[in-house]
Amino acid sequence: MLNINSLSRHYGKKEILKDISFSVKPGEIVGLVGENGAGKSTMLKILATLLHPTDGSIALNNLTYKENRKKVRKLVGFVPQDIALWDEFTVEENMVFFEKLAWKKKSKEELKQLCLDMKLEIWQDSVKTLSGGMKRKLNLAITLIHDPLLLLLDEPTVGIDLKSRKEIGSYLYRRAKKEGMMILYTSHDMDEIISLCDRVFCIGNDPFYQEVLQESGKEVFKL
Ligand SMILES: Nc1ncnc2c1ncn2[C@@H]1O[C@H](COP(=O)(O)OP(=O)(O)OP(=O)(O)O)[C@@H](O)[C@H]1O
């Protein structure tokens, strides 16, 4: 279970997140939507332990972020908007490199299977020769190497073709429901949010997203 309590974040004098509280249950997929600059990435970076909140507390499976940062890090997977890969290395070399940094041992077959699960069928090619969508698939595969309990995805499917997007979505959905993995996910694609997420949180003051999502019958909450 992820619990966020009265969280706020300022950048200088600018308040981006204000008194935010919510919980995510095991196996739940939660969408985070809102206009550009609303604070979605800031929220994910805080949950990924890359930023500190100005105020408030977070706990993952009763591990408080403040006191257990290292332990929490092992349980979290984060796909940021910017792709971070070794361009000169092959897909295989990237997977092996990141496996060494992970806290779980995975065989080459398992690593290759993860790429296939992300609809990436290339293994020996150098990353610099991959398309933008293929790089995103590799980024997703890397994030899943250590079997995170909390998966944070910041617009992960930008540039990924529709068929692969649907298959990756179904794969993540199955894993969340089977393993209790929690997924927090930002996207500007409302169809994808509606089809994949159990609940949606709207961040920021623009009522547009809430109205669109309510029309679809989704459970929508304002943060
Ligand atoms: N390092 C920083 N220093 C100062 N301000 C920042 C910093 N990072 C982000 N911001 C500001 O915080 C606000 C929220 O940014 P954030 O990236 O979290 O928004 P977002 O909802 O993810 O937007 P988008 O949909 O465009 O990705 C923006 O006004 C942004 O300019």
Find tokens 């993540």 and name the residue: 172
Position 218 scores a pLDDT of: 84
- CA of 53 from ligand 1 middle (Å) equals 14
What are 172-207's pLDDT values in tens digits?
999 999 999 999 999 988 888 998 999 999 998 888
- The span from the CA of 202 to the CA of 222, in Å, is 5
90 lines ligand 1 (CB under 6 A): no
Ligand 1 pocket residue status of 41, Cβ below 6 Å:
yes
| CA distances to 12, 37, 128, 203, 204 from 208, in Å | 28, 15, 39, 11, 10
Structural domains in the chain, sorted by start: 2-222 (3.40.50.300)
As a whole number of angstroms, the distance between CA 185 and CA 140 comes to: 12
Residues of the chain with pLDDT below 70 are: none
Tell me the C-alpha distance between 16 and 204, whole Å.
9
Of 16, 155, 208, 223, best ligand 1 pocket probe by most atoms within 8 Å of the beta carbon: 16
Q: What is the dihedral of CA 16, 20, 24, 29, to 10 degrees?
A: -40
Regarding the beta carbon of 94 and ligand 1, being less than 6 Å apart is answered no
pLDDT at site 102 = 87
| pTM given for the model | 0.93
Q: Which ligand 1 atom sits closest to the C-alpha of 35?
A: 25
| Cβ(39) – ligand 1 distance below 6 Å | yes
For residue 154, the surrounding DSSP H or E stretch is strand 150-154
42 C-alpha vs ligand 1 centroid, how far in Å?
A: 6
What distance in Å separates the CA atoms of residue 114 and residue 214, rounded to the nearest whole number? 35
CB of 38 within 6 A of ligand 1: the answer is yes
Burial class, 122, CB count within 10 angstroms (exposed 0-12 / middle 13-18 / buried 19+):
middle
The pLDDT of residue 140 is: 93
Q: Which of 104, 51, 48, 32 is nearest to 80 (CA)?
A: 48
Q: What is the pLDDT of residue 60?
A: 98
Q: Which pLDDT score is estimated for 4?
A: 97
